[in-house]
Structure formats: C-alpha cells, structure tokens
Amino acid sequence: MTPLHPFDEAVRLSAHDGGGWAGRTHPAWGNMVGPFGGITAATLLNAAWIHPQRQGEPLALTVNYAGPVADGDFRIDAFAVRTTRSTQHWTMALQQGGEVAATATAVFATRRDTWAAGELAAPPAPAPEHVAPTPSPGRVAWSERYEMRFVSGAWPDFLQPAEVADSHSLLWIRDEPPRPLDALALAAICDAFYPRVFRRRSSFTPAGTVSMTVHFHADAAALAAQGSAPVLGSARGQRFAQGFFDQRAEVWGRGGQLLASSQQSVYFKA
Amino acid sequence: MTPLHPFDEAVRLSAHDGGGWAGRTHPAWGNMVGPFGGITAATLLNAAWIHPQRQGEPLALTVNYAGPVADGDFRIDAFAVRTTRSTQHWTMALQQGGEVAATATAVFATRRDTWAAGELAAPPAPAPEHVAPTPSPGRVAWSERYEMRFVSGAWPDFLQPAEVADSHSLLWIRDEPPRPLDALALAAICDAFYPRVFRRRSSFTPAGTVSMTVHFHADAAALAAQGSAPVLGSARGQRFAQGFFDQRAEVWGRGGQLLASSQQSVYFKA
C-alpha cells in the first residue's frame, strides 16, 4: 500500500462516533502553536467535500480561527444549509474538548461553460527553474511542506529588523513532496504566505490569522491539469493598524490563469 | 420624533417571538429581486452588533447569499460561538418561511493602539466636489440610496453592449440622504459597486453576489470622524469564468485612510 502524502494524511477525516467527522492534527504541519492555519482550512473544506450530500465544486471558503487548536484529536461538523440549482451552501465548525476552535462557511457551485475573461494578469516572474528554492527558516514544521522559490520578498532576516516600504512577496510554490493540485491544497497555499507584518518590519512578531477567505476560479479538471508544477503566488498587506492587518493573495497557474484569490485578517502584537 | 434614516429603518431588528431577531425588508432598498445584498449584509452584521453579548468592533464579515430573500418579514439568529481576549466569533443565519436565505460569520475585535502603516494608497482622484454625481440608472431602488460620483467606470450604457478591457470603477460614494458613516453602512457600501460583468461587457446580464467578505480597518471613532463625507471606492473583477467571477473592492476615507477591503464571488449568466 502506497503511504499517503502528508497533506492527505493531515486532512483525512473519518466518521465520528458522536456524528460529524473525526480528525487529528499532524506533526508534519505544526506551526508555532498547534497546526498551520492552511491545513485547518483544507481540513474544514474537506469535511464538506467528502460529505455524501455535497454537490458541485468549491467556489468560496471562509475560515474563522476562533481559538487555538491543540495538537491531537478534533471533531468537525459540516451541514449543507441550502442547495439551489447552481450553488450549495455549507457551514462547518471544528471542536476540541467541547469548545469551537474554528468556524467556516463554504459555497460549492456547479460550473458550466460561459463567456470568460482573465483580468488580473500574473505579475512578470522568471520561470520557476530559474529561481532557486529558498531554504525554510526552520522555525515551524509546516514551512518544510512547501517548496518556495521567492522571486521577491523572501523570509526576512529576523536578526536584522528594519522597516521596509512594502510587504509584497512573489514566489513559486508547490507542495513538498510534490502532489497534484486540488482545491484543498490550493486553499492551504492561500495561507502559506507568511504574515506580512514579518516582511514589512523585517522582524518576528507574534501574529495569527483570524479570518481567511478564498475564492476559487478553477474547477477540478483545471486544477488537475496543473499537476504538481509550482504555482505563482503573490501576497501583500494593505493596512496595518490597531493590532490587525489584512493580507491579500493571488495564485496563478499554467498560462497565467488565476486559480484563487484570497484575503485574510491577521492579528499581530507590536 | 425624528424619522429614522432609510438605512436605519432597513437594518432595524426587534426581538423575535421564537428567539433571535425579527426584521423586514424595506422597499427603499429593493433590488431586481428582493433586497440589495449590501443591506442584507448590514442587517446580518447588526444582529451581532446590537446583541447584548457582543464585545469589540467589526473586524471581518462574510455573508453567503444562499437563496432569494423575498420582500417581507425575516428572522435572524446570531450566536457568539467563541470569545477570546481580543476577538469574538459570531455565526448568523437569515431565515424566511423556515428556509435559510443567507448565512454569515463575523469577527469582532478589541482594538488597541499599535504600530501602524497604510500600505495600499488611495488611487489619485479629483476631490468629490469636482466630480459630478452620476444619475442612477433607475432600474432598482437601492441605487437611489447612494450618491455616486464616478471618476471612471460609471454605469454602462446598457443599450450599447461592447466588451471593454477592464472592469474597474473608481467613485466617490455616500449614503443618500447623507448619514454618518459606521461599520454597518461601510459593509453595505462594499456591495454597492455594481456587478463587474456589467462593466466588462457594457451590458446587462443576470448576476448576483454569492458570497461577500469585508475586512474592516477602522474603529467606530475613526468611522465617525468620516461624518457623512463621500468615501472613495475602487472595484474590479479579477477573473470571469464558468458562470462566476470575483470582485474586489477597497474603500478609503479622509486622508487616504483605507477603511475596508472586500472581496466577493458573483454568479453571472452569459
């Protein structure tokens, strides 16, 4: 039996005795405290994705990180609240020890061919093979789960804090080890751009995502066509104030096709 | 007794006999079918905002439009799912006739002074008094509830369809009649940028928001300081494909301060 990819191991769910789904955090996806938010987002999406009532493909996902997730077992409840001709609306919640640690909503949609236009072009970037992989800073396990080739805005040198004029990063990113792209992995990648306050101040500050939204632009076939090739990610903060900032991100695939656009609100201490 | 502003009339909620809140759609905010999505978003946010358990100020709001809202009475249930030292997480649902028509999540946060930086600058625009108000196209009631001064990307001439290269609009916008800005009104404004597919194709197409997320960057005091002056809004579509597109928007206030950033996923027929 082929061992599962660590991503598939981490998002794996089984029927929970008390209803809903049972899951478990995976050490390969550890963050400073508890698991990487991106893997939690993917796991919440998976709870609807594998549900027998699910219709259509992911269109929108919002995950609210309500409290710390401890390493260990968790339970996810997922409910199809409303199904229309073209969309299906889900609400999800992740619990540990009877307390809700994350809430989420997802919209699944039945896609059909229509007029189409890509408006937001991918920023210019050298091909991934011409950009060297950046070693992970090694402070957290999850960053080892991605190969990141930074075109600009690599991990700051935390030893030399200095405020810089913008918080932008542009990078080629793929799962490590390589894994064919799907909506779950794409959702996780949208959270893989380290907190923009680190970049803006070139320093480490306690920070954590409070709420993340991902809008998906590609169906399963289009994502599968990406294979395990790197995708181009761009992330930047827009405003930092009063302990929070927003962070928007876009992910493009082959041929400069926009695959996902994302926005998150992040807590920081400073 | 001073009559309520139509915005305050529309978002008004009272205790529902069966628990939760009771509300009613307002004809001044009518859309092609049912109410304007922005007023529904504001009303859902209000259900948490006026709740006796609410702590902090709006940080993030996601509203999923699950089905049509009919003109008439509705019920909103709002639950504080988790309260931490700095954030409070809410889930809301709007029902009509026993069916959920919208779901939402909101995060409220206790803001405190920290290091701050505005990174996304407001695009250059003439002062609002130098831009003429654009007459509403008059097809829907809600557009009469805003004074819109388009710097670029005004309502298309629906009689002359033609594909244009970008879907961007830049405009000064305020409530009509004027009303001091608050988080509820700001959430509604984030949905007041007409569907980008109208602009991109210079034609009318059935379209409706499926999911909208708003991230707030200003506390109540900063919003109150805006008074009823116009705010600068920018909106554009990023990718249109397979019956859906995303639409991002930013709203800036006095001194070029970013007040809100927003992203929505929109259904369209074409």
Alpha-carbon span B153 to B138, nearest angstrom: 17
Rounded to an integer, the average pLDDT of B61-73 is 97
Chosen from A33, A113, A164, A217 to mutate, greatest number of chain B CBs within 10 A: A217
Give residue B83's pLDDT band: very low, low, confident or very high (50, 70, 90).
very high
Name the average pLDDT for chain A.
95
Q: Quick check: ipTM above 0.85?
A: yes
Residue A2: pLDDT over 80:
no
**Interface contact A244-B111, CB threshold 8 A:** yes
CA distance, residue A3 to nearest chain B CA (Å): 35
For the beta carbon of residue B157, count every other beta carbon within 10 angstroms.
11
Cβ of B116 within 8 Å of Cβ of A267? The answer is no
Q: Nearest Cα to A189, choosing from A250, A128, A113?
A: A250
CA–CA distances in Å: residue A197 to residues A12, A238, B85, B86: 32, 10, 21, 18
Closest by alpha carbon to A81, among B46, B95, B79, B264? B95
Banded pLDDT at B1 (limits 50, 70, 90): low
Nearest-angstrom CA–CA distance, B23 and B96:
10
Look at residue A11 in the predicted model and tell me its pLDDT.
Answer: 98
- Alpha-carbon separation of residue B205 from B8, B35, B111 (angstroms): 31, 18, 41
**Confidence (pLDDT) at A157:** 78
Kindly tell me if the per-residue pLDDT of B28 is higher than 90: yes
Residue among B59, B101, B239 whose CB faces A265 most closely: B59
A53-95 tens-digit pLDDT:
999 999 999 999 999 999 999 999 999 999 998 999 999 999 9
What is the rounded average pLDDT of the residues A117-128? 96
pLDDT digits (tens, 9 = 90+) for B165-209: 899 999 999 999 999 999 999 999 999 999 999 999 988 889 999
Average pLDDT over residues A251-258: 95
* Per-residue pLDDT at A267 exceeds 80: yes
pLDDT reported for residue A19: 83
Residue A198, pLDDT above cutoff 80: yes
B244/A59 touch (CB, cutoff 8 Å), yes or no? yes
Mean pLDDT of all residues in A168-189: 98
| The pair of three-digit structure tokens given for residue A218, joined into one six-digit string | 């590609």
- For residue B29, name the pLDDT band (cuts at 50, 70, 90): very high
Q: Please report, in angstroms and rounded to a whole number, the separation of the first and last CA atoms in chain A.
A: 49
For position B246, what pLDDT does the model report? 96
Of chain A, the percentage scoring pLDDT greater than 70 comes to: 100
Which residues in chain B are contacts of A268 at CB distance < 8 A?
114
Q: How far apart are CA B126 and CA A39, in angstroms?
A: 45
Give the residue-averaged pLDDT of A108-129: 96
Tokens 């803001």 correspond to B111
Residues A114 and A211: their CA atoms lie apart, in Å, by 31
Q: Which of A81, A104, A163 sits opposite B100 (nearest CB)?
A: A81
**Are the Cβ atoms of B240 and A115 closer than 8 angstroms?**
yes
pLDDT, average across residues B237-260: 96
**Closest in A66, A99, A242 to B219, CB measured:** A242
pLDDT at B226 over 90: yes
pTM of the model: 0.97
To the nearest whole angstrom, how far is the Cα of A269 from the nearest Cα of chain B? Answer: 8
Say which of A82, A100, A217 has its CB closest to residue B99: A82
Residues of chain B positioned with their CB less than 8 A from the CB of A84: 66-67
- Condensed to tens digits (0 to 9), the pLDDT of residues A231-254 reads 999 999 999 999 999 999 999 999
Q: What is the mean pLDDT of residues A253-265?
A: 96
Among B211, B212, B252, the strongest candidate for a mutation testing the A interface, having the largest count of A CBs within 10 A, is B211
Tell me the Ramachandran region of residue A144: left when phi exceeds 0, alpha when psi lies from -120 to 50, beta otherwise. alpha
Give the pLDDT of residue A1.
65
- Give mean pLDDT, residues B232-244: 97
- Residue B157 reports pLDDT greater than 90: no
Per-residue confidence at A136, pLDDT binned at 50, 70, 90? confident
Chain A residue whose CA is closest to B106: A64
CA distances from B181 to B175, B217, B225 (A): 8, 13, 8
Predicted local distance difference test score (pLDDT) of residue B40 = 98
* pLDDT-based confidence at residue B19 (cuts at 50, 70, 90): confident
- Quick one: what percent of chain B has pLDDT higher than 90? 88
pLDDT reported for residue A139: 83
pLDDT band at residue B137 using 50, 70 and 90 as cut-offs = confident
